[in-house]
Structure 1
Amino acid sequence: MSGLPIISAEQRRAEKRGVKMALLGKSGLGKTSQLKTLGIDNTLFIDLEAGDLAVADWSGDTIRPRTWPEFRDLAVFLAGPNPALPAELPFSQAHFDHVCQQYGDPASLAKYQTYFCDSITALSRLCFTWAKSQPAAISERSGKPDSRGAYGLLGQEMITALTHLQHARGKNVVFVAILDEKIDDFNRKVFMPQIEGSKTSLELPGIVDEVVTLAELKADDGSSYRAFVCHTLNPWGFPAKDRSGRLSMQEEPHLGRLIAKCAAATTPQSDKE
């Protein structure tokens, strides 16, 4: 009889970990260009925008899923199976085995340290197109499209897939999304990720460890500069969260160095002294 499978503190600290991040920002500020700050040899660019001119000269590896089922296949291949799921469900062991027959040995992924997924704004549109064609999006009574059923399926599918991909052990996973500025019912300025449906936008901050907004800010002299906003309580109201505890409210707009700074928190300070 085997004992309780306790993971010791030493084993936990020795595990290879990764930073899971949502990178938000208004259109045109250079979110996609942050790919250029990452290693060419160890980054996989998941291009959902059908090729972006901003990184046309980036020479790393790229993959372009064009449909929602293709993205689900990619997610299970990159992150591995969830052994708790029944064989008929996506992300199960059976799904993983089927995808490996198409994509080959998952050991080929060992060279990648970071998955850069740009963007989940576009991904949500792929998912919604698929969701509208499913039985759940058709009214059983009238046989007509049921938008409530389609949006419900969209939210469920997106959250399940993003949660699964962020469980890629030992990998950095960056989800990029456009940030919208809106005025709420109380005439207050609010910011929300531009994602089809509301469920994914609301739950995304709980999926990842870090939420960072790339923003254009004003200096004391009135000049403009770009920076990463990283703290939940910030004077601009941008979405942000730092679970690592290592980031300042503002950080330089260099994703590679930001990830390295977050990753340094995986070794407790008391262990370094």
Structure 2
Amino acid sequence: MTRRRAPGAASAELLSTLGRLTAQAREGAELHHARLELAEALQREMLPSALPVVPGLRTAARYAPARDGLDIGGDWYDGFWLPEGGLAFSIGDVQGHDVEAAAFMGQVRIGLRAVAAIVTDPGEVLRTANDVLLSMESRLFATCSLLRFHPETWEIESARAGHVPTVWATVDGRYGISEDEGGLPLGMLPGSGYPVTRRRLTTAGAVVLVTDGVVEGPAFPIEVGLQRVVRLVREAAGADPDELAAEVMKVADSTGHADDAAVLVLRHDAPGPPFR
């Protein structure tokens, strides 16, 4: 009969070391999983659970975190009702993609909501938000586009703080990039002004807002990325907004960019002359 031999001192030490390493690896994996769950929960709370809609206007959005680090970052989208019955939509990008950027993003997003509830002009909303952010003495800044939509007239008032231009297309074949005059990013310079552009949506189509993580990266410059989005929106101006948002977000996968990315789609069904 073969007798089992007790492990020697070297074998026992090896087994003990392997046991410690296994426990440390398990502890590290559990900690990483907990951090990811916390980041995902925080990001969910930072972004709206739903976007407002009215008859003839449907909305959709997508967000993707940076490809490294925690699943959290400084990009955002938002949509909310205004006291007088209008709708406001914003999209923006805070410098950086970490917990600090996410916290600053939350301050910017809530600040815009608070100011927009009492200030009607989008340019004044951005100007006031810029002053508030500067008073906080943060080292971060944020780009942003803010739209105010009037359901009764189908008018859109928009202002831009150093953000990516808006892409649009109509079902009758019109399309383009709205590079309206804008101001500096929020939190950079006191007294910055933000011109307002006014339009009326009178032809069925889509208005698409993105952050630079969607259209810019090592693979190609922002101009190329925007043209890719234009082609997608042009081909799907009358499509379901969720499907269009998902297709636009795919552009981010080809940029080679490791930044956060966000897409906001406003799909409208009003008849008449084109958005321009």
Normalising TM by the smaller chain, what interval? under 0.3
TM-score scaled by structure 2? 0.24
Instruction: Flag the structure with more relative contact order, 1 or 2, with Cα contacts below 8 A and sequence separation at least 6.
Output: 1
TM-score scaled by structure 1? 0.24
Tell me which structure has the larger Cα radius of gyration.
2
